[in-house]
Structures are given as structure tokens and as C-alpha cells.
């Protein structure tokens, strides 16, 4: 075998072990008995110790030094780009720190869930302070004298910086706020009312998942406190949640996670268990979940089909026509929860988190001041007060598991989705007619062939630009939002 072949064989084993560690995380949020939390944290720490040792193995340095990247084809060069970056990152983070982060965040996740259920911020803040301290140490090691928060963003969105994101968000915020104010001053659509049994929601959620292309022979749907997608290749799992008074929570959480899952399922099998075998960034990942959920799933055409499906499943639920249902699905309303926010206000929720976690990582905000800072910012941005911690700083799982730098990729994903949707509309003739019939195949095949299949082959902005023909810009997203909601609310 060549040196490159030796390296790739080693890398595949490392990737396989990382998938096993990911399955432990999936189990922790879905099936694990609550009393197993301490043992699971030890198991996660043990897996991280093994993975860190492999990612810093001296053999990697020998292989990387021996391989001439220019002698490889474009796929090989892309593999080497990812492997070199992963090796450089792993070498900067001490093994004991990596293991400690894995152990503490595993426990912190359970403590967050309990504190959220108890509406008890004080019970969570001590462990969050520990997580923040550990992640700041990690960020300092990775930054190597540079910006700590930029180093964290790079884990989720390579080549992106906080300054670039802040500049983009500052440009978006005035138009989003103006649209929000105009919409909320108009006559709102009716809200959905009634009782929607959880078992019927899950049955329809499974139908929605397969309608959007999710392959259940290589996946499954379970429930979790915070919906997520897990895995890659031939084992990609999603979760959702149900509220018997709000079926949209279940249905659109499912479609959202299916967008993530289909990205992973549709990557070229030749890249399985290699650095190219996963989504290239969380921003690109989020572009898939958001375009599935919003531009396709909340479109007038598709909601017409969904209205028929809901009527068949639940009978009369108080909405009298497909057009009224479309307006209800896209109803802009006051609310606290990011994952339940309408398209107009969603990015404002993300921008709040971006600014707070950036301040935490830069040492400008103390953990024990987080709740007050969150509540003050929320009141300023949305015009009303947070009523309880589970609707405020305890609502998201991300900080408990150390995902600092992740939140801004949600809005970046919306920007990417805006570019992709503009291209999709021109590339798929008769798109609305297909969506009206509940046929997503042409739309999802276009996304597969133009973006998803490539996995990590290209850099994030490059793969979106190749698919859409548009240089990264928030303009397509803002134009889409202003047009859609201007029409719904007759602005």
C-alpha cells in the first residue's frame, strides 16, 4: 500500500470510532436511563481519550510529511486538506483538556435538562461556568494568540470570522426589524387550535420524513427534549418532539432535521468514513435544514398538500381552507423559543445568542450575569419580558455541551439557503405544481446533485456558490422574506 493508502486506512478507523462516540451521544438524549449519567460521562471521556490519541498519533506526522499533496487528484487533495487541519487542531489541544471537556459536557447536558425542567438557573450556572472555562482554554490553545472566538467558529464554519458575521448580521438586522414591526402591526392570521394526539403526529411526521427523501432503512425517528440529527453515511438518525396543542412543532422540527439527515445520507458513498464523508460545515448543513423546512416546507404550494394530510389525520381543526392554513403556518407571533420562531424573527434570536456567547468567550460577560444579560437583550429586541428560564437562557442545549461558535451558523445557513432557493426556482420547472402534489423529488434531487453529494470536497462558501451561482450575500434571503410576508400580511 502507498503512504496515502496507509493514512486513509488509519483515518477510516478513526472516523468509525468517532461514529461510535456519536452514537453514545444519541443514546444519551433518547434512550439512556437517567441514572446512567455519571457512567456515560466516563464512557464519553474514555472514547475521547482514544480519539485524541489517534488524532495526535506520531504516525500521522510521518505520513503527512511523506505525502506530496500535488501528486494527488482533487479528491485526495481535499482529503489531505481536512486531515492536515484536523491534525494541527488536535496537536494544539492537550489530551487531558480534551478528555475533561468530554467528561464535563456529558454531565452538564443532564444538569441542563434537569435545571430546565425545574426552571432553576442557579442549579445550572456553576457547571456552565466550568464548561465556559474549559472551552475558553481550548479556544486559547487553538487561537495560538489570535481571536479565541474565531478559533471556536472555525470548528463549525471554516474560514469564517466573528467580524465577518457581525458585519453581515448588522446589515440584516434593520431590514428584519422593520419587517417584523410592519407585520406585527397588521392583522394576524388565526392560530391553530385543538387537540392533536402525539401518536398521530408521529405517524404524519414519519410520512413527512419520507416525502422529503429521508431513507428510514438507514435511519430512525425518536423523541428528544431538543430535536437533532446524528450520524452520517448509512446510519443517520433524527429526533423530534410533540406538543398535543401545537402539531407544527413536531412537523417542522421533523422536516428541519430531515434536511440535515438527507445531506448526510446523500453524500457520495465513496467518501464513507473519510473526512469528506460528512457535511462540510454547520452553515451549509443548516442551509439544507432551513430550505427543507421553510422555502419548501412552508411554501404556499406544499402547505396546500399538508393541509389535506392534517385534515385526514385530525379531522376538522378549525382552519377552513388551504390558503388560511398557509397563512397560519407562516403566522408571525410573539414567542420565546428559537426553534419555534417564524422566519421573520428567527435570525434575531440567533443574533442575540451570537453576541452573548462572543462576550462570554472574550471575558466581557460573566456566566453568573448571563440570565440578566439575556433577559435585558431579549426585552430590547422583542419588546416583552422573558417569563421563565426555560423560555430564556435555559432553552438551548448548545452551551451545556460546549458548542460555542455554533449559533451563528444557523443564520449563516439561512443566508446560504436564500442563495440556493433562488437558484432552485430557476432550475426546477413546475416546482410549485410538484409541491402542491406533495412531490419533493425534483427539488431534493437538485439539492443532492448540486450540493449534498459533495460532502466535504469543497470549502463551505465555494460549494454554495457552485450550486447557486451567487457570491455569498444576504440579499436573496431578505428579498424572499420581504416578498413572502409582505404578500401574506398585505403590507
- Residue 286 is labelled as binding a ligand: yes
Long-range contacts of 123-129 (CB under 8 A, 24+ apart): 124/394, 124/400, 125/367, 125/368, 125/370, 125/371, 127/400, 128/367, 128/370, 128/399, 128/400, 129/367, 129/368
For the beta carbon of residue 414, count every other beta carbon within 10 angstroms. 26
- Residue 226 is labelled as binding a ligand: no
Closest CA relative to residue 286, chosen from 201, 160, 377, 138 = 160
The CATH code that applies to domain 162-488 is: 1.10.1370.30
Q: Which of 48, 257, 343, 371 is catalytic?
A: 257
Does the annotation mark 257 as catalytic?
A: yes
pTM of the model: 0.94
Tell me the per-residue pLDDT of 436-477, one tens digit each, with 9 for 90 and over: 999 999 999 999 999 999 999 999 999 999 999 999 999 999
- Residue 333 is labelled as binding a ligand: no
pLDDT, position 339: 85
pLDDT, position 322: 97
Strands 229-232, 235-240: pairing is: antiparallel
Strand order in the sheet with 229-232: 221-223, 235-240, 229-232
Closest CA relative to residue 261, chosen from 291, 294, 230 = 230
pLDDT, position 1: 58
Domain ranges across the chain: 3-146, 162-488
Specify the DSSP element, H or E, that contains 345.
helix 343-362
Report residues of the chain scoring pLDDT below 70: 1
Tell me the per-residue pLDDT of 130-161, one tens digit each, with 9 for 90 and over: 999 999 999 999 999 999 999 999 999 999 99
Alpha carbon distances (Å) from 195 to 19, 167, 205, 316, 333? 39, 44, 16, 11, 20
Residue 235: which residues within 8 A CB-CB, separation 6 or more?
Answer: 19, 23, 218, 219
Amino acid at each position: 500500500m502507498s503512504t496515502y493508502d496507509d493514512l486513509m486506512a488509519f483515518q477510516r478507523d478513526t472516523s468509525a470510532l468517532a461514529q461510535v462516540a456519536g452514537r453514545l451521544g444519541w443514546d444519551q438524549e433518547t434512550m439512556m436511563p437517567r441514572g446512567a449519567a455519571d457512567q456515560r460521562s466516563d464512557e464519553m471521556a474514555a472514547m475521547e481519550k482514544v480519539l485524541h490519541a489517534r488524532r495526535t498519533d506520531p504516525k500521522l506526522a510521518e505520513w503527512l510529511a511523506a505525502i506530496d499533496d500535488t501528486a494527488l487528484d482533487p479528491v485526495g487533495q481535499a482529503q489531505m486538506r481536512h486531515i492536515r487541519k484536523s491534525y494541527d487542531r488536535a496537536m494544539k489541544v492537550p489530551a487531558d483538556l480534551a478528555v475533561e471537556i468530554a467528561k464535563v459536557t456529558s454531565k452538564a447536558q443532564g444538569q441542563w435538562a434537569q435545571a430546565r425542567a425545574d426552571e432553576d438557573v442557579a442549579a445550572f450556572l456553576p457547571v456552565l461556568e466550568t464548561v465556559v472555562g474549559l472551552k475558553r482554554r481550548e479556544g486559547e490553545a487553538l487561537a495560538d494568540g489570535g481571536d479565541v472566538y474565531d478559533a471556536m467558529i472555525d470548528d463549525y464554519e471554516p474560514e469564517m470570522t466573528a467580524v465577518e458575521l457581525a458585519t453581515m448580521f448588522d446589515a440584516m438586522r434593520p431590514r428584519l426589524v422593520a419587517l417584523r414591526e410592519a407585520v406585527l402591526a397588521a392583522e394576524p392570521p388565526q392560530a391553530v387550535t385543538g387537540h392533536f394526539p402525539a401518536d398521530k403526529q408521529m405517524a404524519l411526521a414519519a410520512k413527512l420524513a419520507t416525502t422529503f427523501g429521508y431513507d428510514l432503512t438507514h435511519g430512525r425517528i425518536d423523541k428528544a427534549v431538543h430535536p437533532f440529527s446524528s450520524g452520517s453515511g448509512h446510519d443517520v438518525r433524527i429526533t423530534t418532539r410533540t406538543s398535543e396543542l401545537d402539531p407544527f412543532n413536531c412537523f417542522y422540527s421533523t422536516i428541519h432535521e430531515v434536511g440535515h439527515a438527507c445531506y448526510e445520507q446523500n453524500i457520495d458513498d465513496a467518501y464513507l468514513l473519510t473526512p469528506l464523508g460528512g457535511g462540510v460545515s454547520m452553515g451549509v448543513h443548516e442551509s439544507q435544514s432551513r430550505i427543507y423546512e421553510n422555502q419548501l416546507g412552508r411554501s404556499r404550494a406544499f402547505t396546500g398538500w399538508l393541509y389535506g394530510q392534517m385534515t385526514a389525520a385530525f379531522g376538522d381543526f378549525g382552519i377552513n381552507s388551504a390558503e388560511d392554513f398557509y397563512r397560519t403556518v407562516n403566522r408571525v407571533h410573539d414567542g420565546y423559543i428559537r426553534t419555534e420562531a417564524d422566519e421573520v424573527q428567527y435570525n434575531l434570536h440567533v443574533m442575540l445568542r451570537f453576541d452573548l456567547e462572543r462576550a462570554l468567550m472574550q471575558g466581557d460577560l460573566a456566566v453568573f450575569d448571563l440570565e440578566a444579560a439575556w433577559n435585558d437583550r431579549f426585552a430590547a429586541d422583542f419588546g416583552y419580558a422573558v417569563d421563565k428560564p426555560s423560555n430564556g437562557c435555559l432553552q438551548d442545549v448548545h452551551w451545556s455541551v460546549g458548542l460555542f461558535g455554533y449559533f451563528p451558523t444557523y443564520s449563516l445557513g439561512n443566508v446560504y439557503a436564500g442563495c440556493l432557493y433562488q437558484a432552485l426556482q430557476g432550475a426546477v420547472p413546475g416546482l410549485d405544481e410538484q409541491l402542491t402534489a406533495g412531490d419533493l423529488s425534483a427539488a431534493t434531487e437538485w439539492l443532492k446533485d448540486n450540493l449534498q453529494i459533495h460532502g466535504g470536497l469543497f470549502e463551505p462558501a465555494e460549494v454554495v456558490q457552485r450550486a447557486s451561482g451567487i457570491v455569498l450575500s444576504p440579499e436573496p434571503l431578505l428579498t424572499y422574506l420581504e416578498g413572502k410576508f409582505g404578500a401574506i400580511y398585505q403590507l
